[in-house]
Structure 1
Amino acid sequence: PARRVVRALRKGLSATAKDTETAVRLARAVQQPITTGRQIAVTSIRGGAGKSTVAALLSLTFAHYRADPVLAIEADPSLGTLPRLFGAGEVRWTFADLARILDPSMRVTDVTGYLLPFTGGGWLLPGSQGAVGAQLDLDAYRIVMTSLRRWFGTTVVDCETLPAEVARTAMTTTQARVLVAPATAAGVATTRTVLDWIGGLHRSMLPTTVVALAYTSPGMGVDPRKAAEYLGVGGAAVLPLPYDRALAEGGEIRTALLAQGTREAALALAAEAMD
């Protein structure tokens, strides 16, 4: 029995050391120096997949690990869920408001007056004030994304669901894209269709695409390994995001309340998108 205990302890220490090594490697990937602003689009094929939740998790992770300014942009203004996920208070200025006043002579301190701060030192640009049916103009999107690149090292864009025009533009103009797929048979099948479309645009886009396989409710039975084999076409990475009751509630994301597996999954997604 003593020998079995010793073997178990050694095995546990070995697993702990391996987990620590993995966490350090992922953290270094997230923190790697970048010479130009990194813009990452997050979208999905349908609503309810967890797209905004993934965008918020990525933004919080980047803000925690990186020293340069992080910006979260809500380019899906119809319901305005991103401010709620960040626990933001009153929304006074929106994407469209900032697009109208942006000027080359402005300084970063002028711009942040139109943004909302969130935990970790990041900034949020809301898409709307929660009005149903709000629309985002494609020209406004291009103005904001081009202008803000010089001030923010990392920008996470919460896009509309595909095939909306802004979402299609974001998918093809950002350095990386995260496609959120519900962990269901239908979700995996439709996401594969989107990946085939991305590959048809340019094969080089697939290696910089990450599929977040989102388990948004307990008991979702899709095998992550089989899903990864089916979705990992052309070099796209497929990473699972496990079910987390704290996220399922849909309120403000408090990282301290998230399960360890959720925090590890968010770090892995951020590392893959940044790398």
Structure 2
Amino acid sequence: MAHGRDWQRDVLRELGGTPVSEADRTAARLVRSEPPAEHHDPPPESAPSTQPVHRGVRNPRTPMPTPESVPTVDPRLALALGNPQHGDSVTRRTGQALRKLTASVGQEVADQTRLAQELQQPVTTGRVIAVTSIRGGVGKTTMSALLGRTFNHYRHDPVLTLEADAALGTLPVRMGAESVRWSCSDLAHILSPDMQLTDITGYLVPVVDGGWLLPASQGRVGAPLDIRTYRTVTLALRRYFAVTVVDCETLPGEVARTAMDTAHARVVVAPMTAEGVNGTRVVLDWLAQLPHSALATAVVALTAHSPDATLDVKAASAHLRETGVPVIALPYDRHLAQGGPIHTAMLGQATRDAAIRLAAEAMHRAVRVR
């Protein structure tokens, strides 16, 4: 990404069809302005539902056709998912209930209150939290879904979970979406500065527990999401959503590097393996070289994918904390390991607690760290 040029202003002007002059670019180098304030147009007579109106198509002679709705999981395969199982065994849940009866709840209530206050911080402009990893299969998408659901639960303003992964990403499945229609690329051709929130949500997938989802594709092999599309969509949607959780492609992909460079907070997902921790340390060292305190806004999520993991979690966390970045360890969870949609009520207690701490750490950095 080229620093010193306000690409946000450029994109907004292009969305409005106005050419960007050299004078504007010179001014952008001198003043790093926030995105323009929202236009307060009168609300539409009726909010779009399944057939949104294309109000912002840049070329009216070639309107964007409405894509077909596609199921996120083949109906023939959906039967193979089986019934979701609880993250904790019956024995563990019984022990947790007994400990709650005998333990003092004062400190627990204080901790929960503090975390809730972090998660509910007011924001003046939309905050973007990017989630990535050094390779696939380490729980990056699962972590994005957990963060999106956590923010949806605690915040009362709009929250978006956005997929910026390859064409066959699994975020819609993990978020519980039964079908998808519009994608990031589709929306990039439709967005215009005069659109209202009700216009935008007509192109998104509503999440069962609250919030909204924007997939990167319909789950088909095709052209991957490009940097220009990512910038266009994330910049425009910041006006409507208080928090946007971005499920990025893995590093060192170009979109992932752009997302990490431009986000307000970064979550790096690392597996509880020696090579995973070592590679993640390399990523943290790279973030330290970025010119705007990227390391100060980073959090590491250390994930376990086996109940028999032998890595010393304390030693691994200490190695990563040498960079000054907080590390949140998420234990093995049977419900998450099963795959398919995430049901918050089925998560293990330790997993829920870790997800809340991770979301609070990311939100703290997105709002307060400069």
TM-score band (shorter)?
over 0.9
1:253 corresponds to 2:342 = yes
Task: Write the mapping of 1:155-170 to structure 2, written as runs, cut at 5 A.
Answer: 155-170=244-259
Q: Tell me by how many angstroms 1:202 deviates.
A: 3.6
Higher normalized helix content (fraction of residues): 1
Q: Against the structure 1 CA distance between its residues 200 and 246, is the aligned structure 2 distance closer, same or farther, given a 3 Å change threshold?
A: same
Q: How many residues align?
A: 267
Aligned partner of residue 234 in structure 1, secondary structure: coil
Measure the CA separation in 2 of the matches of 1:203 and 1:246.
38
In the alignment, residue 268 of structure 1 is paired with which amino acid? R
Which residue of structure 1 lines up, in the alignment, with residue 306 of structure 2?
Answer: 217
Q: Tell me by how many angstroms 1:80 deviates.
A: 2.6
- The TM-score normalised by the length of structure 2 is 0.69
Which residue of structure 2 lines up, in the alignment, with residue 138 of structure 1?
Answer: 227
Q: Against the structure 1 CA distance between its residues 130 and 234, is the aligned structure 2 distance closer, same or farther, given a 3 Å change threshold?
A: same
> Which shifted more, 109-118 or 28-37?
28-37
Could you tell me which runs of 5 or more consecutive residues in structure 2 were left unpaired when the two chains were aligned.
1-97, 365-370
Q: Tell me by how many angstroms 1:183 deviates.
A: 0.5
> Which shifted more, 250-259 or 12-21?
12-21
Q: Tell me by how many angstroms 1:10 deviates.
A: 11
Could you tell me which runs of 5 or more consecutive residues in structure 1 were left unpaired when the two chains were aligned.
1-8
Which residue of structure 2 lines up, in the alignment, with residue 4 of structure 1?
Answer: none
Measure the CA separation in 1 of the matches of 2:312 and 2:115.
24
Measure the CA separation in 2 of the matches of 1:155 and 1:250.
23
Identity in percent: 59
Which residue of structure 1 lines up, in the alignment, with residue 39 of structure 2?
Answer: none
**Which of 1 and 2 has greater Rg?**
2
- The TM-score normalised by the length of structure 1 is 0.93
Deviations 1:22-44, CA, capped at 9 Å, x for gaps: 12211111111122211000000
Q: Against the structure 1 CA distance between its residues 133 and 224, is the aligned structure 2 distance closer, same or farther, given a 3 Å change threshold?
A: farther
Task: Give the alignment partner of residue 101 of structure 1, picking from 190, 211, 233.
Answer: 190
Q: Against the structure 1 CA distance between its residues 62 and 45, is the aligned structure 2 distance closer, same or farther, given a 3 Å change threshold?
A: same
Q: CA RMSD in A?
A: 1.8
Measure the CA separation in 2 of the matches of 1:192 and 1:234.
8
Task: Write the mapping of 1:203-214 to structure 2, written as runs, cut at 5 A.
Answer: 204-214=293-303
Measure the CA separation in 2 of the matches of 1:206 and 1:15.
37
Which residue of structure 2 lines up, in the alignment, with residue 192 of structure 1?
Answer: 281
In the alignment, residue 341 of structure 2 is paired with which amino acid? E
> Which shifted more, 205-214 or 130-139?
130-139
Task: Give the alignment partner of residue 205 of structure 2, picking from 116, 129, 132.
Answer: 116
Measure the CA separation in 1 of the matches of 2:273 and 2:221.
28
